[in-house]
Structure 1
Amino acid sequence: MLFVKGWRFLQAGVLFHLWILEGSRVSSFIMILLLLVMISLRWRYRMPVWSVGLDVTICFLYFPITDISYYGLVLPIFELAFRGKWYFSFLLFASLFFTPSASSFLFWYYFQGFFFGTFSWIALKNQQKYILEADEQRQARYELERIKLDLLEANKKASHHAELLERYRISRELHDHLGHDLTGASLALRAYEYVKNPEEANQLLQEVRNRLERSTIHLRETVHNMTPTMLIGVDSFENIVDQFQQLNIEFHKSGDMLRVPAHIWGWLEACLKEALTNVARHSNATKVEIDLQATDSIVRLLIGDNGTVQTNNSTGSGLRGLQMRARSLGGSLSVSRDNGFLLVGVIPLDKEG
């Protein structure tokens, strides 16, 4: 649009130049002034396409008075082509062959007005198309990020729900088996204190022994069923460290790791794998230190190396995804390369965890 506005005022300057060459006639000045008013209105407001008829009328009225009006006709030719009404613009262009002042110069003057008007129309349509595509891509990206956050939140809720179900299952298992047998054994021992008959006393002791044996068997089975078939939590975290043999890794942990829920362990393991992969690919480090801390309110992961080569200063898509996941969990993930590679992640823990 800056080009369009500049072209309009440039043509007004051409008309003023022709007016000076003509001898500065008052009638020509009034015509140029009227066209300049229309140019100024279009510069300030978005005029409807029918307003081009005012420019055409002004030029037609001054055809018998001054030859400058023929040059002024280039403005409506340009405006019509610029609005996509190139067929009307072409009709005005064709009127050149019916004017007494027709010349090759006027022909090329009209042609450049028609050409730049059509060019501006095409450029503006392409610009609007690109803006629309950019808006659609931006909306799609926002929706994708929203879906990612929703999935992370759903994963967190599913993990919490599975934990509650497992707790409920364990409590029912203990209540249905261990609770009854231990309660029966306790009552049998109390009754044993008041039994005088040796035979009845032996029967009570045998019942207590049987109930305790069943309780032991049920407890062993419950523990066996609770034992995971794959490594989870801090055990899986340590296994990743042990499996990474390319570097010398020192791993330190502190705090109660049982307070860390499953969905946060998934994020911690992803951070560990991404950091170790980046160190192996982009650093000349020989040593990596990993510090995992779990307090009552937060879990903090720190991964640093002793590398000196800085070949990858930009944050990759993997780290950006982890930062997004950290924000969805209410925490943060920061990366520094000032003195080797350093990754620090902090995630808050639920108070009821």
Structure 2
Amino acid sequence: MLDLPVLYLIAKTAAVTASYLAESRAKTDVVASIISVLSFCCIFVFELLLERLFKRQTLIYISVIFSLIACFLIGIEFLMPLATVLLMHLIDLTVSGKMYYRVLAVVICLLLLIYPPGMDGIILTALLILTVILVRAVLKKLNEYIHKNEMLKEEIMRLENKISDLKNMMKNIKTAVSLEERNRIAARIHDEIGHGISGSIILLEAAMLQMKNGQDKALGSIEKAVKNLRESVDEIRTALKEERTDRYLIDIHDISAILDDFKVKYNISTRLMTSGDLSNIGPQIWVCIHDNLKECLTNVLKHSNATEFVLNIQVFNKIIKVEYKDNGKTGKSFEKHLGLEAIEERTANAKGRCFITKDENGFCVTNIFYY
């Protein structure tokens, strides 16, 4: 993958090669030029190995400075492109941020003023500077995006672990609440109902013994036992009535769970709105609402471009209004297929009426029931 060390390796190799190619037109000593180019390339590769293997900045400083000294000794006039790239590398190692461009501009201007090259050298140097700056900026931006992506992955993993922990905690809480509720009901049965039944058993046993001595005493014990048993049965009925959850609470909980699950899975906002006495909604209507809701949510995924879904249940005097509405804006007129036809049929079976509308505000299915 291309990064800053590889970028400077390519730039310095291109600079020294171009410089010696231009010089070879004026000189005939091609062997010396080739040896010089290969020597510089070996130094540049050595720098890259230092960066990759040891991460030792000190050695890289020494190598870059040694190359700069070699440029001045061999001839800065025709090695100006290489010297410029070496200075860019050196400044990049020592200065970061916006100061890099300011220091680079000052150093390059001073170098060109002190050692002005020819027109070919100026053009080649300018091209190298622009190329390195452009690619360097792209690499910096790419590294920022890679770093942000890694941070987001870590955050996603952290959130997934947190969600998993929350699910386990909810499961444990649910188990603990269930066990606590069972213990509470068992204690109530033992304390309130068990004592009455135990007393009745004792009275019946006493009546059996009293049967030998006199029926009047036995009859009195039996009557007390019957009375205690009746009271115990009444207490059982009262306890069951108090402990039993209202049907509409179970149904509305299921509806809310479906909406919450849809929101988490598909990242589409969902809302449940209710008004009136929900206990007036019968089991058949709850089943219809439940099934129609699933069908409407499926249509939102398949046909709508919605970001929000609202289920509004309103209970009036003798009338129940259920509205399934999303804010999808597809710009196309809807056609009744199997899903919408199933909603209409299901509503009719529950002795209700179904109205389907679509406008600029989204898609809406309205059910009207009578009770």
Q: TM-score range by the shorter chain?
A: 0.5 to 0.7
Code of the residue aligned with 1:98 in structure 2: it is I
Per the TM alignment, residue 245 of structure 1 is displaced from its structure 2 partner at its CA by 7.2
Code of the residue aligned with 2:204 in structure 1: it is L
Code of the residue aligned with 2:12 in structure 1: it is R
Q: In structure 2, how many angstroms separate the alpha carbons of the residues matched to 1:241 and 1:9?
A: 76
TM, length-normalised to structure 1: 0.63
Equivalent residue, structure 1, for 2:87? 77
Alignment of 1:256-295 (within 5 A): 277-279=297-299, 282=302, 284-286=337-339
**Do the aligned partners of 1:77 and 1:90 also contact (CA within 8 Å) in 2?**
no
Equivalent residue, structure 2, for 1:20? 24
Q: In structure 2, how many angstroms separate the alpha carbons of the residues matched to 1:118 and 1:128?
A: 15
Equivalent residue, structure 1, for 2:12? 8
Unaligned runs of 5+ in 2: 256-282, 304-336, 343-371
Alignment of 1:1-353 (within 5 A): 1=2, 4=7, 5-25=9-29, 27-46=32-51, 48=57, 49-50=60-61, 51-63=63-75, 67-80=77-90, 82-83=92-93, 84=95, 85=100, 87=103, 90-99=106-115, 102-195=117-210, 196-229=213-246, 230-232=248-250, 240-243=286-289, 277-279=297-299, 282=302, 284-286=337-339
Give CA deviations for 1:68-121 in whole Å, capped at 9, x if unaligned. Answer: 33443233134235544552674255222223x632332333333333333344
RMSD over aligned CA atoms reads 3.3
**Do the aligned partners of 2:204 and 2:222 also contact (CA within 8 Å) in 1?**
yes
**Do the aligned partners of 1:188 and 1:208 also contact (CA within 8 Å) in 2?**
yes
Code of the residue aligned with 1:241 in structure 2: it is V
Code of the residue aligned with 2:44 in structure 1: it is I
Seq. identity, %: 15
Moved more, 163-172 or 81-90: 81-90
Unaligned runs of 5+ in 1: 247-272, 289-353
**Do the aligned partners of 2:64 and 2:90 also contact (CA within 8 Å) in 1?**
yes
Code of the residue aligned with 1:53 in structure 2: it is I
Per the TM alignment, residue 161 of structure 1 is displaced from its structure 2 partner at its CA by 1.1
Give CA deviations for 1:277-322 in whole Å, capped at 9, x if unaligned. Answer: 214763732477xxxxxxxxxxxxxxxxxxxxxxxxxxxxxxxxxx
> 3-state DSSP class of the match of 1:242?
helix
Per the TM alignment, residue 22 of structure 1 is displaced from its structure 2 partner at its CA by 3.0
Shift of the 30–94 alpha-carbon distance from structure 1 to 2, 3 Å rule, reads farther
Shift of the 79–112 alpha-carbon distance from structure 1 to 2, 3 Å rule, reads farther
Per the TM alignment, residue 140 of structure 1 is displaced from its structure 2 partner at its CA by 1.8
Shift of the 123–72 alpha-carbon distance from structure 1 to 2, 3 Å rule, reads same
Shift of the 14–156 alpha-carbon distance from structure 1 to 2, 3 Å rule, reads same
> 3-state DSSP class of the match of 1:73?
helix
TM, length-normalised to structure 2: 0.60
Code of the residue aligned with 2:224 in structure 1: it is E
> 3-state DSSP class of the match of 1:68?
coil
Give CA deviations for 1:169-201 in whole Å, capped at 9, x if unaligned. Answer: 111111112211111111211221121223321
Q: In structure 2, how many angstroms separate the alpha carbons of the residues matched to 1:274 and 1:12?
A: 70
